[in-house]
Structure 1
Amino acid sequence: MTAALPQAYFNPPRRLPFVLPTPPQGKKLISLAINESPYGCSRKAWVAAEARFGNPNRYPDPSSADLRRAIGKQFALDPERIVCGNGSEELLDVVARMFVRAGDEIIMSQSGFFQFAVVAARLGAELKRAPENDYITDVDGLLALLGPKTKLVFLAVPNNPTGTLLPVDDVIRLHENLPPEIVLVLDLAYGEYMEKVDLDRLMRYGGAKPNVVITRTFSKAYGLAALRVGWALAPDWMTPGLNLLRGVGNINAIAQAAAAAAVEDQVFVDRVVAETTAERSFLARHFTRLGLHFVPGYGNFLLTRFPDEKRKSAAKFIDLAMREEGIWLRPVGEPGFANWSRIGLGSRAENDLLVRLLEEYLK
């Protein structure tokens, strides 16, 4: 299958794919559309950002040395193997540009992260999608698509937009069956929401292999989405090329300082994950009570299907939620999810309000 994106990505668009909406007068925007954390960031990160903002006339460190050292110290990793990016999305693009040329192939799961498809289209690569089992990546399906032109396999664990989690044993089986010249990119943007033992095991396994790149982000559990900070753990032989391909000064100085402080405050991250897990269970209980189908998963969202594409559609509820309460939701753009919304987890007050709207809408 040829890499394909909506036509707007190839013609000059009249507007961006999405813009921040304006809530009704007197209402504050409640953002449940793009998987942001409602819990802010660590106080330590806030203080560090304020301190660095006092010297804005100085360029940031182009190597992000302090940030890489902080990440390395926290997770017992060699800082020289860490590459930092303007969000993990930049790093996905950088890895692909290092290995993929027009006509090469990139493999992903059917409902994998949309950015994987964007990367393939930018490079003129052939994109192949493997079917899934109950919205979970099918390892055998991925392996069946491998060919002589395959250069990358993209895999998000947990997945976005489904939230489903491929067990670590299956990730390992996938890698063990890849030819050594194919690079496996593990996108762990939602890794903090996994069980810690599984995340640690995945990091140790991937970090020991010469053809695995792991990407992480500060945008979710750390609450630094506005600052756009991501990082990758890559093999020694790969990091010089990745650093050459990434942007020079790609992370601003304030973001570097905030992220370096944030990674040291794992107590804050643990609290955010606990609160998020509780809110996911809260919404899951109410969605079940209301008869809404959703995909049980990990992450800070629930992929939710609405009952009727005409009378009780996702699109109509999305419009209602913004019009009535300023709640921002979005439809799912991935193939096969025409009447779905990926509903982010807000605070308890925000989730209560969402549930009340759903009750009125669905009855």
Structure 2
Amino acid sequence: MNGPLSHIRILDLSRIMAGPWSSQILADLGADVIKIERPDVGDDTRSWGPPFLKDRNGSESKESAYFLSVNRGKRSVAVDLSTSEGQETILALVLQCDVVLENFKVGTLARYGLSYEDMKVVKPDLVYCSITGFGQDGPKADNSAYDFMIQAMGGLMSVTGECDGEPGGGPQKVGVPIVDIMTGMYATVAILAALAHRKETGKGEYIDIAMLDVQVAFLANQAMNCLISGNAPVRGGNKHPNIQPQDVFKCRDGYIVLAVGNDGQFRKFCDVIDRPYLATDERFSTNAQRVHNLAVLNEVIHEALLDDDMANWLALLAAAGVPSGPINTIPMVFEDPQVQHRQLVRRLAHPVSGTVPQVVSPIRLRNAPLNFDRPPPMLGQHTEEVLREFDLE
């Protein structure tokens, strides 16, 4: 493996999404990630389909698209953690690893003799990252959690979806497991920080990452809107709570997203739609005023944009430097010339299907480029290889 983390080895005891998302980022950066899976069963997400990868004969394999989305670059080793032999194998592997990543319920690994306290006896400078729903302490620490419920509990669904009273109104979850993904991102940042600190001090670290903490943290501007104003933010559909005009607007033959970000862009927008007077109207001349008078402003914009086709508006807005875009389906995203130019979709060799598509890391490093040579592993594919490499056969 190449990349800036090619000197780092990760023992990945995590499964499903949050932990594997973190370890996939680390693998993309060059770390040697050893994914520990239950014999015969593996990661829960291996069965989370359809769809499943087709083999060379066109038949469905046991490799789900969900699993394939989050396990690139790893080596799979089948170990039963509930047995003394399995526990001994894990402790032997830890000796030659830099990081342990796990997302078991609080206390589970301690019962197996695989807690941070157990492992740091074997490897004092170990970086050990635990991901749970609610953290290692507190009244909900023992509770299980999934992305959907944390989106609800953490406030995200209270600000996502169409306004109450509108057609289709009511709370909505985000269309991808955003809490899991962001938890994986925060875990990765914490791991890299701990590794940097270890390099300076020689000390290991224990990292406690909670999905609910992450969700509350990335409420971001909506959290601060509430804390500053004292008012609970509400669902506003596609309308931005602080910056306007930003919404979905209907054109003659479709819909576009308009994302005006400042007063200068608004003036340009008014020229494009042939309503220059809007920019000098005191109701709309500043962003704060546009937010206060949004209902009136949006009526004018809707009327103007219905006069022409989507493609023409997008061309005119782009030429004027006004941020806007089409609402693409996912297939349309992959057909976008910019996405294709950036090579975000690549096909890796795979033992079942010949090749498997992967949406690769968006990270671009000039001096330590990322390589994508290892596809998501088959269950236990690398057990013999790793045990032989670690002299554990």
* TM class, shorter-length: under 0.3
TM-score, length-scaled by structure 2:
0.22
Q: Which has the higher contact order (CA 8 A, sep 6+)?
A: 1
TM-score, length-scaled by structure 1:
0.23
